[in-house]
Amino acid sequence: MSLHIYNTLSRKKEEFVPLVSQEVKIYHCGPTVYWVQHIGNMRAVFFGDIVNRTFQYLGYKTTFIRNYTDVGHLTGDNIGDADTGIDRMEKAAISEMSTPDQIAQKYIDMYTKDVQLLNTLIPSHSPRATEHIGDMIALIESLLASGYAYTTPEAVYFDTSKVENYTKLSGQKIEENVTGSGHGDVTKTSKKHPTDFSLWFFKVGPHANALQVWESPFRSTLVTNGLGFPGWHIECSAMSKHFLGPTFDIHLGGIEHIPVHHTNEIAQSECANGVEYVKYWLHNEHLLVDGGKMSKSEGTSYSLHDIVAKGYDPLVLRYFFLQAHYRSKQNFTWDALEASKVAYKKIATFLKSTSDTGNISKEYKEKFIAAISDDFNTAAALALVHELIKTRFVSDGDKKATLLDFDAVLGLDLSHLATADDFPELVRGLAEKRNKAKSEKDWELADKIRAELHDLGYSVSDTKDGYTIAKL
Ligand SMILES: [Zn+2]
């Protein structure tokens, strides 16, 4: 069974062929750590995790890198406008009366906790952009040496006119990009072409008060020792090269990165290294809330904390994410999350009611591999889970073993779910009392307690070595 994935670069589903047999190198553009990540960001993290877990399940050795952007990501990152505004870290530092480094650490800690609650595998490396300034400077130097970049008093720019097929990832025509953008005020910068982008900002003009700056070998008449900070795009080219080499298998990110950030990563990496940058580009669609874009001002920019505060297990959100294909928009509503909770509980109820573990069903495992090998179709994989629970042709023990095997990809923490004793004290007490009554052959009392539990919404059934409780 071969794995087929949709490659944004070719705009079609392709058979995945790794650069090195049974190994896969993956880079995922991580968060800019200046604010609490919303559940849309969590969907992106979940998607990266599914890719990582799927490859591991299929027997690949994965190297998975997800960075933290802690410098250079400016507030104006619309098409044609990526070089305007001020650094997001800096804006947050000012409004929280803190330093950019403290801001980064605070939001990295929150993010790390959230992604752990979502049961995502820890990446092989999670570098911070500020730890790789030297790698970025080296890349920029080689671009300057080969004529792909130029220096002005304000910045070092990448010259997009020198690149053949600059927009190969997005398929955009440059003219459309420029006239359609409306934001980029080219006359205010010293760029030669509107699509040129900054590799290094000198500490001048709007950035004269920049809080995070480094000396560099680049020269501006307006600063000493090339003082400044890197542009956003160069960081991913530098960090991916550092950890994965100049050419690697898979690059992940949200669809918003296609026209600018990833387009620029390809241009600068391929010009600096002289080899193809990435074989397969995968992009996840956005999460909507109540049918619209998430909005901080309308209070729909929910965080994982909001989900937990409403009494939901974070894994219910993970279950919700599993229901949609990553290339489809998914609409979050509280009703939809409630439905996910009910469906997740069904799996829990089945697992708790089955004490024996048998053998993995070959038939279902094949079907499961077919689903996830079809461009990571988690919706189909999840449908299969419920089909398996219902079927009469597989024993309960085998079902359980199969579900626990699938969980290596699903990440729903099913082995814990199978044994978790999360019933209220009262319910556990009654079940224990009934068990004691039974062992004393007081059938009348045992039946009375069973009815009492039933009224509370629980069933109790006897097993070889005791009993199990389940919610009705
Ligand atoms: Zn990136």
Give the residue with greater pLDDT, 32 vs 119. Answer: 119
Residue 371 predicted with pLDDT over 80:
yes
Question: At how many degrees (to 10) do helices 314-322 and 39-57 cross?
Answer: 70
Residue 172: which pLDDT band, with cuts at 50, 70 and 90? confident
Distance 261 CA to ligand 1 centre (A): 6
Return the pLDDT at 175.
60
Provide mean pLDDT across the span 310-320: 93
Residue 134 predicted with pLDDT over 80:
yes
Q: Is 43:284 a contact under the CB 8 Å cutoff?
A: yes
Give 31-89 pLDDT, tens digit per residue.
888 778 899 999 999 999 999 999 999 999 999 999 999 887 776 544 344 566 777 87
Q: Which two tokens stand for residue 430?
A: 């009654």
- What lies within 8 Å, CB to CB, of 143 at 6+ separation is 149, 158, 199, 268, 271, 272
Distance 423 CA to ligand 1 centre (A): 44
Scanning 328-470, the segments in alpha helix (DSSP H) are 334-353, 362-373, 378-390, 396-410, 414-419, 425-439, 443-456
Distance 68 CA to ligand 1 centre (A): 9
Distance 417 CA to ligand 1 centre (A): 36
Return the pLDDT at 81.
47
Distance 427 CA to ligand 1 centre (A): 50
Distance 257 CA to ligand 1 centre (A): 8
Distance 267 CA to ligand 1 centre (A): 13
Distance 49 CA to ligand 1 centre (A): 17
Mean pLDDT of the chain: 90
Give 194-212 pLDDT, tens digit per residue.
999 999 999 998 888 888 8
Distance 197 CA to ligand 1 centre (A): 14
Distance 163 CA to ligand 1 centre (A): 20
Nearest Cα residue to 99 out of 229, 36, 91: 91
Distance 471 CA to ligand 1 centre (A): 45
A 10 A CB-CB count for 91 gives 17
Ion ligand 1 — residues with CB under 5 Å?
A: 29, 236
Distance 29 CA to ligand 1 centre (A): 4
Give the whole-number percent of the chain exceeding pLDDT 90.
Answer: 68
Give the residue with greater pLDDT, 165 vs 181. Answer: 165
Most confident of 204-218, 309-323, 369-383: 369-383
Distance 54 CA to ligand 1 centre (A): 22
Return the pLDDT at 179.
38
Return the pLDDT at 280.
98
Give 391-419 pLDDT, tens digit per residue.
999 999 999 999 999 999 999 999 877 76
Helix (H, G, I), strand (E, B) or coil at 194: coil
Please compute, for residue 275, the number of CA atoms within 13 A of its CA located in the half-sphere on the CB side. 9
Residue 243 predicted with pLDDT over 90:
yes
Distance 462 CA to ligand 1 centre (A): 55
Distance 157 CA to ligand 1 centre (A): 18
> For the ranges 23-27, 173-177, 386-390, 445-449, which has the lowest average pLDDT?
173-177
Distance 223 CA to ligand 1 centre (A): 28
Distance 260 CA to ligand 1 centre (A): 10
pTM of this structure? 0.84
Return the pLDDT at 83.
60
Distance 168 CA to ligand 1 centre (A): 17
Strand partners, 252: 28, 282
